[in-house]
Amino acid sequence: MKIRDAPQVCCLGKFITLSAKQEDIVENAKDLPLVVSGSAGSGKTSVALEKLRKIEEEFKKGRILYITKSENLIKRSKELYEYVYWDETANDFKIGIPDRIEFLSLHEFLEKQAEGIKGKKPVDRNKFFSWFNEICKKDKFKEYKKDGDKIFEEFTAVIAGGGLKKEQYKKLGSRQAIFSKEEREHIYSLFEDYKKFIEKDSEYYDPNLIAHKCTEEKVYNVVVIDEVQDLTESTLSSILKSLKDGSKDNFLLCGDVNQVIHPSFFSLSKLKSFLHKNAADKEPSVCFLEKNYRNSQQVIELSNRILHFKNYCFASEDKITEEEKKLFFMKSDTENEGNVDFTAEDKEQEMARKVPESINWAVLVLNDESKEDASRLFNTPLVFNIHEAKGLEFKNVILYKFMSHEAYNEVWNIAKKRQVKRRLKMLLRKSVIRITQRM
């Protein structure tokens, strides 16, 4: 018996009900290609996993890939998706996932698709700066010593992320790169030195450089990508190229412009333009999930104020339509009022006494430099940088020294001058994502 208008109930670690909008996205497995844009806590991952169940039913013999950059998130998603199924080869029931469905992190995907990276790790900021600090001792690069973060983003999101040759890079518009046209000759020369360094390294590799060397083996009938905003054009392109020739439009992308914590220069308009030029034969549908089901009312209120501040200082909020504002800012769908406190430095010890041996408290830092201090102060293993925290949830979260960090001061100083800097948009997004996602 079917009850009319009853919400759909699904089981992803626990029983949850889908909203009418979420259910509408899930129901039709044939409405690909599809882009789902939603704020933190809007149920994007739940929708993606439930949509995957429908896709699995529709493509009974096809191979399906579910992929995201974060290894923590892909592990959690795989655990949530596991179910009892009939294994024809073993002629028995199993708990798990059929072999034709693969859950892979970006690193695992590249390991399968490219040669020479087995046993290596994706390059991180620490590895990059070990090289950068040395190279800046040379006279020709000394002037860029203070620009390490900007250069790391330019290499990752623009040059390697876009697969650009020198002349292509030099011709980019002022809003397509961080550095001015006058500086780009030197920046590309620095990039060429970096490329030689990382390609010779025995422990690390650059995913964006490797993405161009993938075999482009077309093996999948459908691809589902979660947190697409964490991917560059290079890595996204290599994933979509793994779709079979007759299945180019069979993809689902989920993401949020306000959750960019990896350098990618992501925007919804840029994504749509990329798909139009490089991937899809058919124009993807775009669905928006604006309600937040996870966070308390006060957390959402604070997050929206930060988003408003970011737009006011670094974008043209007056040019955003009322309809776009409704989609851009989060709406609360919880009765939990919650609490947001700012604690002075002399009260840290008092707060630290609440944390040890509790699984309900986690500490978040902007980067690895602050992790050791936070671990010592709070005496807990639950200390994460903003990249490690993706896919994790805790009842209480402490943002440790976010407002005394150099990145915060840099944002504030430029905000006071009302100057537009693309790099600082990303720094503000980092603050927003961690406040909204895990409290």
Same domain, 93 and 148: no
Specify whether 43 is located in the same domain as 110: yes
Instruction: Tell whether 82 and 51 lie within a shared domain.
Output: yes
**Whether residue 242 sits in one domain with residue 131:** no
Answer whether 77's CB lies under 8 Å from 45's CB.
yes
Q: What is the pLDDT of residue 1?
A: 32
| Residue at a domain's end among 180, 209, 238 | 209
Domain boundary among 236, 263, 292: 292
Quote the crossing angle between the two packed helices 71-81 and 44-58, to the nearest 10°.
50
- Total domain count, the chain: 3
Same domain, 341 and 390: yes
Are 220 and 71 contained in the same domain?
Answer: yes
> Which of 1-15, 313-327, 381-395 shows the highest mean pLDDT?
381-395
Residue type, 290: E
Residue 2: band (very low, low, confident or very high) from pLDDT cuts 50, 70, 90: very low
| pTM exceeding the 0.85 threshold for the entire prediction | no
> Domain for residue 27, yes or no?
yes
Answer yes or no: is 303 within a domain: no
Query: DSSP label at 43?
Result: -
Give the pLDDT mean for 56-84: 89
CATH assignment at residue 233: 3.40.50.300
User: What confidence score (pLDDT) does residue 11 get?
Assistant: 54
Q: Are residues 137 and 151 in the same domain?
A: yes
Q: Are residues 227 and 200 in the same domain?
A: no
Vertex 229, ends 226 and 407: CA angle to 5°? 130
Alpha helices in 146-296 (DSSP H): 148-153, 160-162, 166-170, 184-200, 207-211, 233-240, 268-274
Q: In the predicted model, is pLDDT for residue 431 greater than 60?
A: no
Does residue 192 share a domain with residue 78? no
Verify that 12 and 109 share a domain, yes or no.
Answer: yes
Does residue 194 belong to any structural domain of this protein? yes
pLDDT at 430: 53
Give yes or no: residues 68 and 138 share one domain. no
Using an 8 Å Cβ cutoff, are 230 and 429 in contact? no
pLDDT tens-digit map of 167-191 = 999 999 887 888 999 999 999 999 9
| pLDDT category of residue 235 using cuts at 50, 70 and 90 | very high
Flag whether 328 is in a domain. no
Residues 30 and 73 in one domain: yes
Q: Which residue has the tokens 């592990």?
A: 75
- Give the range of the structural domain holding residue 198, as residue numbers without chain letter: 121-209
